[in-house]
Structure 1
């Protein structure tokens, strides 16, 4: 495979959207050409066939990963017929561009769409520049449309509007002298995100793709619980509506406009029964091949919607879930970080204006790294890396082995918790423990050298990739009884189905019994601090990041502490801890991840 030069591809976004394709329409999977009568066709003209195959290429949760992701974040698992699996290195926009361009070819009936979290929680190459590099890359990828995700709100609605419309950053300014950021060539859709002042959607609720009489509408929504996974400042002045009700509302509106073929871009997802990207969740014997929030959403979204492109859970699946009429409907997700893309065939019926649902086919494909790099993406990465290098290449510590970000209790999360405990003790020597949210740990630290650094060296860029949110380390006081409640809220209420297990600092231990349900999964008698049982009436000083200190991740009791004290940046706390506790001669070892005893 080879990359297609950007200048030779499909032309400018706006011109391409309205262009009328030349040549004969591709005959669809159900194609049965309709004979043209003498009164219908002009001499020398061929009437399009009734059925037209439309290619939908999609991906989700890129999170600004322009370079190939490190460690497990840059791998996918392939399942073979004999039940064995293979691990494949995947991802990187230089390769994603090549794969998408080769898949697209010169097909005029091809759409590229995404399901949110294109930016936010990004590595330093993008995050340092408020994700302008990622928007530029997505423009080069010829992305047609995307829904917003929760991470599009990390820096608030005004910053999201700037990414859409362009303009230099309000405080950092323009990163290249004389060059103004132009914004996204594609629309962000936010049908269920309502501005409280105007009572209207923050951004466009839907977008319609048109080509030679073919019309397909796209409705974009993010998860209703976005305020529970984003800082309060990021969603200030906004209300997030129910996904199903919103999609159903705009599907009716599109139908009134004559658009009967509809795809929903939903930043909410599920969990397939297998982590292999090519697992067939519709195969005989698979049973319920997928679970999670997307299942109920898919079962209740109106039958007017023909396919659901989803995200948020970073899982890979291409499954059918029955719509309210009992008819199977395709639901897809392409994992995360640009490791996969989904290729879906939508067979459009020109007579009815709808998708022939029985002809819809979909599969996930690996963004392998054995293809030619897209030259324009290489240039983009090199250009931004030149700006980032003075900051990103600075060593901030040394490790003796990979520090993984996997498992219920991840070693990487434990290391961050230890760093925040140390930062807390500098603010207040009476600090007892620290708790870190799992979603705030975005990547592992890898031992193997990258670029010009030596093995075991941790650079600022790597640290930024692990902790990109610019949270502060905050202190609060809680009673022992409140700490018990905090642990219970990890696994109950809104977290019952998908627990948010907090990562504890050294010395704080307890047992998690997964054979039980809800709050009973926390074995209260097992909770100890430095070997001593927790005293319900005693007061404990706890360090968390500012997201958790506001009651984030549905752990509301964390927002009810007293004697608040705001510290410095969480990444600075990690850097300070690594510098104080590691050297080239004495690198820090991965934590044992034995603070939570798991019964299963």
Structure 2
């Protein structure tokens, strides 16, 4: 996921239970004594085993209101093998589901896998995500790992979210000073380069009576590759496995044998359905991606991994280095799911009886009562945001989606940045937009009551929340070709990041090939002509890409830099100039990249 430098103000139950609950439990669970699940022994004494409920979620990204469009749906596998979509998400519903899930579970922990904030919709982003921290406090979140997006505004702002205080530039938004998070952010593998120590707590121990469970929190080692240089200045990001192993030993020396790792890194399940059986046999089953190697190598002392980052849903058993199965979970993103895991604690050993662990992803359906305190919270912050957020900035004739190798929304942004770039410098040749910087599409009737294609500032903010600037740089034609190859090679070889091009750039992407060869060099055309390797081209990108972000080092080598205004301002200017109520803008056809599969 991308991140961006900040400016002065950042712009800011289960359904069909028979199929909705993916539950993994080894046969030994049945062999445990009855008191394993009651926590009671003879004569009123605590039993040997105590079930501990672990509720978890990840990648909330400040989505307090129900996400719209595909961002607010999950895919559910049906008994006949078909899938259906279910509307999901919204913190009012998440709170109700979590509170209901906790009922009858005196031993219950709520944990998260990072990216609670950052790339947030305007309701949270406009206020530097203070509304989301307030909501998480009300949710009774116990602990979270840090994610890459927690560094969007740098370590100083992360410390403020943890410890409280008014924003150093914007001040206080209400008559009360922001108190910060009631829960700890864990940053075990994020070190201050000078002190060589974690910038916040590396681990935390949950205790209830004689039960103790330790949590270690890490983010992906590659965070500097997906966050702006300003956001990670002065920080070092260490290997996830080495860090978790290190602090697992620390916890064990303190007498904590039950350990959960909160890892902001993830995987890619073979199915997009949240209730897909990740452990089913057969070709094409299971999970791939970075989390697999992490899970296979993290010390067996860790009993479960709560993960995130890839916005996918999975509940998988992945063997640890000793060959024992270990639960690895992720609850998609945006508060659409939560994971309900049962950890059976053995009082005799102080460890988790791992073969009794069971887990399932649950849908945050919208068919339950809203949590009144969350409704009030949203209303309070919406009142502050309304004068800015309700302002119309353009009109669309239909939904402009944000899916596919090339998305209509990504193309629209690239066109807007090309137009803005040419205002700054008529020599501007083309524009390129990173797909991860496009956080949503535009929905014709986003609020249900609209139905008129009006695009508000709040909706635009949801699409582009990073407060990047539009930057112009000079590149040779050879460098431009190299940039296109970097989409599918180098650090992007395994998971390509296809740049969204302005309308005057076309080429063929051949996915039957591998590496850089997937970009068919002879097919590249700019304004219908071949790119001259020796010529100079003026390229508009956002400031994140201009710094070489997202695995595009060549974009960090441009010359004659010119820094323009905010990228959302460029989109607003383009929509205002090219749309009206009588003549709304149509979705781009997304036909600039020809894909061969």
TM-score under structure 2 length normalisation: 0.93
> How does 1:101-500 map onto structure 2 within 5 Å?
101-177=99-175, 179-285=176-282, 288-450=285-447, 453-500=450-497
Matched with 1:31 is 33
Q: 1:62 aligns with which of 52, 60, 84?
A: 60
Q: Matched residue pairs, number?
A: 567
Q: Is the 8 A contact 2:60 2:117 kept in 1?
A: yes
Q: In 2, distance between residues paired with 1:31 and 1:260? A: 21
Q: Is the 8 A contact 1:193 1:241 kept in 2?
A: yes
Q: In 1, distance between residues paired with 2:31 and 2:265? A: 30
SS in 2 for 1:554: coil
The structural deviation recorded for 1:452 is 5.8
SS in 1 for 2:458: helix
Matched with 1:5 is none
Matched with 2:23 is none
Matched, 1:515 2:517: no
CA deviation vs aligned residue, 1:167-209 (integer Å, no higher than 9, x gap): 01111111112x1101000000000000012110011000000
SS in 2 for 1:248: helix
Root mean square deviation of aligned Cα: 1.5
Q: 1:526 aligns with which of 512, 518, 523?
A: 523
The structural deviation recorded for 1:449 is 4.8
Query: Which structure 2 segments of 5+ residues have no match?
Result: 1-12, 15-28
SS in 2 for 1:309: strand
Cα 1:554–1:449 shift into 2, 3 Å:
closer
Q: Is the 8 A contact 1:76 1:88 kept in 2?
A: yes
Cα 1:287–1:399 shift into 2, 3 Å:
closer
Query: Which structure 1 segments of 5+ residues have no match?
Result: 3-26, 35-40
The structural deviation recorded for 1:107 is 1.6
Q: Is the 8 A contact 1:31 1:52 kept in 2?
A: no
- Higher mean C-alpha displacement, 297-306 vs 441-450: 441-450
- Superposition misfits of 4+ residues, deviation over 6 angstroms: none
Q: In 2, distance between residues paired with 1:367 and 1:214? A: 29
Q: Is the 8 A contact 2:68 2:446 kept in 1?
A: no
The structural deviation recorded for 1:331 is 0.5
CA deviation vs aligned residue, 1:100-138 (integer Å, no higher than 9, x gap): 000011422000000000000000000000000000000
CA deviation vs aligned residue, 1:194-245 (integer Å, no higher than 9, x gap): 0012110011000000112111100000000100101100000000000010
Q: Is the 8 A contact 2:270 2:284 kept in 1?
A: no
Q: In 2, distance between residues paired with 1:518 and 1:455? A: 44
The structural deviation recorded for 1:28 is 9.8
Cα 1:474–1:341 shift into 2, 3 Å:
same
CA deviation vs aligned residue, 1:50-73 (integer Å, no higher than 9, x gap): 011110000000000000001100
Q: In 2, distance between residues paired with 1:358 and 1:106? A: 23
The structural deviation recorded for 1:288 is 4.5
CA deviation vs aligned residue, 1:446-497 (integer Å, no higher than 9, x gap): 0015266452000000000000000000000000100111111111111111
Q: Is the 8 A contact 1:28 1:347 kept in 2?
A: no
Cα 1:581–1:306 shift into 2, 3 Å:
same
Q: In 2, distance between residues paired with 1:240 and 1:422? A: 38
The structural deviation recorded for 1:284 is 2.8
Matched, 1:596 2:593: yes
Q: 1:539 aligns with which of 536, 539, 550?
A: 536
Cα 1:127–1:423 shift into 2, 3 Å:
same
TM-score under structure 1 length normalisation: 0.93
SS in 1 for 2:588: coil
Q: In 1, distance between residues paired with 2:452 and 2:288? A: 40
Q: In 2, distance between residues paired with 1:200 and 1:278? A: 40
SS in 1 for 2:550: helix
SS in 1 for 2:141: coil
Q: In 2, distance between residues paired with 1:359 and 1:107? A: 17
Cα 1:28–1:465 shift into 2, 3 Å:
farther
SS in 2 for 1:553: coil
Q: In 2, distance between residues paired with 1:45 and 1:359? A: 25
Q: In 1, distance between residues paired with 2:405 and 2:201? A: 38
The structural deviation recorded for 1:286 is 5.6
The structural deviation recorded for 1:31 is 3.1
Matched with 2:79 is 81
The structural deviation recorded for 1:82 is 1.0
- Higher mean C-alpha displacement, 288-297 vs 339-348: 288-297
SS in 1 for 2:162: helix
Q: In 2, distance between residues paired with 1:399 and 1:410? A: 16
Q: In 2, distance between residues paired with 1:243 and 1:132? A: 28
Matched with 2:562 is 565
The structural deviation recorded for 1:530 is 1.0
